[in-house]
């Protein structure tokens, strides 16, 4: 499960990789990282999973260790809590860097199944959980108004225009 590599082979490094990461909004200051480790110290996941270290992730991204990074399951463990981002003295935005790396991993076909599932659910009903007559009856019993209907066809169309269906290789239900 370890994300790191014990031996770094220069021929395996992709010097252009950091540029690809930095093109993604939020991740543009990746190379400001001076490896202080404040991010790892602030990380509630790193405290519990020793292999998960935002500092290491930043270093690997800068070095261009593209494959071990983008193939790793550990990328999906980040809780997105932004504790590292608040405390980074270099404004590297480690949380945004990890989100950027995830989006590059998705383009390589490594997407956590839960993210794919969430997208399919949103495409289906416009929400993570479908609201049926049953839920609205429960709400009525409590004196709550029914949940307003989602314009889900518009969400599906936006997903199509952006190309989320092709990216995740999913079918978007309904619509055109």
Partner 1 sequence: MSRYALFLGCTIPARLNSYDLSSRRVAEALGIELVDLEGAGCCGTPDMESLDHTMAAAMAAWNLSLAEEQGLDIVVLCNGCHEVLRKYNVMLKQDSKLLKEVNEILSKVGREYEGTVEVKHYVKVLYDDIGPDKIRQMLKKPFKGLRAAVHYGCHMLRPSELIQFDDPENPHILDDLVNATGAVSVDYPDKLECCGAPILAVNEELSNSIAKYKVQIARKYADVMITACPFCFMQYEGCQVTGWEGEQLPVLHYPQLLGLALGMEFEELGINENRIDASKILEFL
Q: Does 118 bind partner 1 (CB under 8 A)?
A: yes
- Size of residue set near partner 1 by CB under 8 A: 61
Tell me the C-alpha distance between 118 and 59, whole Å: 30
Tell me the C-alpha distance between 106 and 167, whole Å: 8
Task: Return the residue matching tokens 């202080």.
Answer: 36
Tell me the C-alpha distance between 91 and 108, whole Å: 27
**Cβ atoms of residues 79 and 52 within 8 Å:** no
State both tokens at 73. 């399951």
> Using CB under 8 A, which of the segments 2-10, 12-20, 57-65, 113-121 binds partner 1?
113-121
Q: Does 103 bind partner 1 (CB under 8 A)?
A: yes
Pick the binder of partner 1 from 21, 83, 97, 172 (CB under 8 A).
83
CA atoms within 13 A on the CB side of 106: 21
Q: Which is nearer to partner 1, 1 or 7 (CB)?
A: 1
Tell me the C-alpha distance between 58 and 35, whole Å: 8
Pick the binder of partner 1 from 1, 6, 11, 129 (CB under 8 A).
129
Pick the binder of partner 1 from 41, 51, 82, 170 (CB under 8 A).
82
CB of 10 to partner 1, least distance (A): 30
CB within 8 Å of 171: residues ≥ 6 apart: 165
State both tokens at 47. 């405290």
Q: Does 79 bind partner 1 (CB under 8 A)?
A: yes
Q: Does 134 bind partner 1 (CB under 8 A)?
A: no
Binding interface with partner 1 (CB under 8 A): 24-26, 44-45, 48-49, 76-83, 85-86, 93, 95, 99-100, 102-103, 106, 111-112, 114-115, 117-119, 122, 126-131, 135, 138-139, 142-145, 147-152, 154-155, 157-159, 161-162, 164, 167-168
């Amino acid at each position: 499960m370890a994300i790191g590599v014990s031996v770094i082979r220069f021929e395996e490094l992709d010097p252009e990789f950091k540029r690809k990461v930095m093109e993604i909004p939020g991740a543009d200051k990746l190379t400001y990282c001076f490896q202080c480790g404040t991010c790892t110290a602030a990380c509630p996941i790193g405290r519990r999973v020793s292999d998960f270290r935002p500092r290491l992730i930043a270093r690997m991204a800068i070095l261009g260790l593209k494959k071990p990074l983008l193939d790793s399951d550990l990328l999906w463990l980040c809780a997105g809590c932004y504790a590292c981002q608040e405390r980074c003295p270099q404004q590297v935005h480690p949380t945004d860097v990890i989100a950027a790396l995830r989006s590059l991993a998705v383009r390589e076909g490594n997407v956590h199944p839960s993210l794919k599932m969430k997208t399919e659910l949103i495409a289906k009903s416009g929400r993570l959980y479908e609201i049926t007559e049953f839920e609205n009856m429960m709400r009525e019993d409590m004196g709550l108004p029914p949940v307003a209907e989602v314009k889900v066809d518009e969400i599906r169309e936006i997903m199509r225009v952006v190309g989320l269906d092709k990216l995740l290789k999913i079918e978007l239900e309904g619509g055109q």
